[in-house]
Amino acid sequence: MEQAFLQFLATQKQTLSAEGVGIGDDAAVLAWPADSKLVVCTDLISDETDFHLADVTPQQIGRKALAINLSDIAAMACQPVGALLTLLLPQGEGSLQLAQGIYQGAAELGAQFACPIIGGDTNSWPGKVAVSVTVLGQSLAGKPLLRSGAQPGDAIFVTGQLGGSIWRHHLDFTPRVHEALQLTQACSLTAGMDISDGISIDLPRLCQQSDVGAEIDVRLLPLSADAQKMSEKTGKPAWWHGLNDGEDFELLFTVPQREADQLVAQWTNATPITRIGTIRHERELTMLGEDGTRQPLLPEGFSHH
């Protein structure tokens, strides 16, 4: 199967620069500007944990495997440059077709963000499919955006809409790479990350790294229609799903208070941005409920670990 897959890869177009070397040699080669930082992230997804093979296409698997890594690169406000795709496939007749579909799904998404598949590996075993992707990125604006720069008084923002990701959003979301790069030009970002486990778990992680606290207002959360759909199914408020469903893969970022209003007024990207709260000096994490009362922000999101 591996040789047949390599032959398939040899027929696929790559969008590397003239100085680069992709699939076909023992290792990939990339030109790297001396004035930029190398940013690297990796994620592994597997059948029955992150998707169910019977319910998705191979292309959707490949797309998600790359997309979650591109979301991490976006969280660092960097430009993806290339990706390594490693497949562990179930033994059997369908493994080649599965491998080809996974690659195609990843490569199609990669082409949208100038992030070609430049290498990887494949193997088979008597278990379920697992896909590991590593993405290399460049910092274009000096230093990558970290979780550790938030300051008391900073405004807390999110991109897009939140909640209800189980209704396919976790498979077809668009990584916010373009939005992150536009934000670096539009304002002084102080800290950022992507929302993978839900704001109630991810915001405390940012605050811990920045040694600050935060307060959000659930009445400001930009809720998706799927959050309301989940609310009707579970009986929990839609805002609860906006805080806790996880796998939104939107950006969570902080901006100096003095720039917040201007950022909103001048934002032109089709993906909306919404201010949802404020960074505080006190270390506690609180939220204003639907009735305006202050209460603890409980970490009830979904953890992959």
Q: Which residue positions form the known binding site for substrate?
A: 50, 247, 302
- Binding annotation for ATP: 103, 120-121, 147, 196
Q: Which two tokens stand for residue 291?
A: 């009735």
Element (H, E) at 230: helix 225-234
Q: What are the two backbone dihedrals, phi and then psi, of residue 263, each rounded to the nearest 5 degrees?
A: -60, -45
35-64 CB burial, b ≥16 within 10 A, e <16: ebeebebebebbbeebbeeeebebbbbbbb
Q: What are the two backbone dihedrals, phi and then psi, of residue 33, each rounded to the nearest 5 degrees?
A: -60, 140
- Binding annotation for Mg(2+): 26, 42-43, 72, 121, 194, 197
Phi and psi based region of residue 247 (left: phi greater than 0; alpha: psi -120 to 50; beta: remaining): left
Spatial strand order in the sheet of 285-288: 191-194, 251-255, 155-159, 273-280, 213-217, 285-288, 294-296
Judge whether 80 and 177 are in contact, CB under 8 Å: yes
For residues 79 and 77, what is the distance between their CA atoms, to the nearest angstrom? 7
Secondary structure class of 166 (helix, strand, coil): coil
User: What beta strand segments (E) does the chain contain?
Assistant: 38-46, 79-90, 117-125, 130-138, 155-159, 191-194, 213-217, 251-255, 273-280, 285-288, 294-296
Judged on CB neighbours under 10 Å (0-12, 13-18, 19+), 258 is: exposed
Q: Tell me which residue of 121, 34, 118 sits closest to 83, measured CA to CA.
A: 118
Spatial strand order in the sheet of 38-46: 38-46, 130-138, 79-90, 117-125
- Binding annotation: 26, 42-43, 50, 72, 103, 120-121, 147, 194, 196-197, 247, 302
